[in-house]
Amino acid sequence: MDAHWLSRAVATLLLMLCGCSEAPCPIIGGERGEATSERETASQDYCERETGSIRGRVVWSGPLPSIPAFKIFGVAGMGTESLKERPNPHVPIVEKTSGGVAGAVVFLRNADVAKARPWNHPPVHVEFSRNLISIFQGEAHGSIGFVRRGDVIDIVNRDPYLHVLSVNGADFFSLPFPDKDKPSKRRLDHRGALDLTGGAGYFWMSAHLFVADHPYYTRTDVGGDFLLEKVPARRYELVCWLPHWEITGTERDPELGLVHRVFYRRALERVLHVDVPVQKTAEAEFSLSLKAFE
């Protein structure tokens, strides 16, 4: 007798005995419940009808920070070009009318991986282009990406000179990209936040990847709004993350004396406790200000 059929028959019989008419939640996987990957096996207790949503906004109150641009002199790959400027990559992006903060990361800190929905974020593609680091993920394009732990990211250099990807945070490694349009791959096995910077003199480069076992990560839109869907009903720590713009130190090239790397203060994290009801939407709002970054 088919084991999957037998297990479903037993579950149905138990429901009939207890007077329940609602069918059990399906097992994640194929027709017979086979897991399509090791990580889907971990989500076999996911039940969509026992989930809700979290909707909210990240807003800025009070004056915005005054953050000067970086002064750029000739660096590797740029010859002896005249003085230029690059904006600090961590300047908060705030919508003038509503005060909504765009590009803030919102995630669940204590999500139960065994009950999480299947991973729903597209693969990540990291690209060096025009002396910037960009992250492409589905239709999203910016400086933030979400990677399932154990998955592989693609990396490529579109500029005609050397770039080096330096990664710090939950993992530490460097990858050189001397050749234009020659892609490389890297598997990410360490859970946590990763800071991506340029290790070949382009100190203003900055991007961030969040490596996680569950998919409950999102970024705010241009108006500061966010939505986390299909969240198992329970109480959570909801976290808002935004990088800090203040520089705590620099590293200079020993021969040229030019700034080679900059170090920022630790990123801001604000936490709210949110109760997610079954088949309903919980509301949450984060209020940020200059004082929050002190």
Q: What is the CATH number of the domain that holds 192?
A: 2.60.40.420
Domain ranges, residue 12: 1-34
Q: Say if residue 62 is in the same domain as residue 106.
A: yes
- Asked, for residue 140, whether it belongs to a domain, the answer is yes
What per-residue confidence (pLDDT) applies to 257?
76
* Whether the Cβ atoms of residue 59 and residue 99 lie closer than 8 Å to each other: yes
pTM of the model: 0.85
The token pair at 144 is 């933030």
- Asked, for residue 39, whether it belongs to a domain, the answer is no
The last residue of a domain, from among 186, 214, 242: 214
Residues 6+ apart with CB under 8 A from 123: 137, 151, 152, 153, 154
What per-residue confidence (pLDDT) applies to 43?
59
Q: Say if residue 223 is in the same domain as residue 107.
A: yes
Report residues of the chain scoring pLDDT below 70. Answer: 1-44, 74-83
Q: Say if residue 131 is in the same domain as residue 192.
A: yes
Q: Say if residue 79 is in the same domain as residue 30.
A: no
- Asked, for residue 67, whether it belongs to a domain, the answer is yes
The last residue of a domain, from among 214, 247, 269: 214
* Whether the Cβ atoms of residue 88 and residue 70 lie closer than 8 Å to each other: yes
- Asked, for residue 208, whether it belongs to a domain, the answer is yes
Q: Say if residue 116 is in the same domain as residue 244.
A: yes
Q: Say if residue 132 is in the same domain as residue 200.
A: yes
- Asked, for residue 174, whether it belongs to a domain, the answer is yes
CA dist 47 → 7, 13, 18, 110, 114 (Å): 17, 19, 20, 18, 11
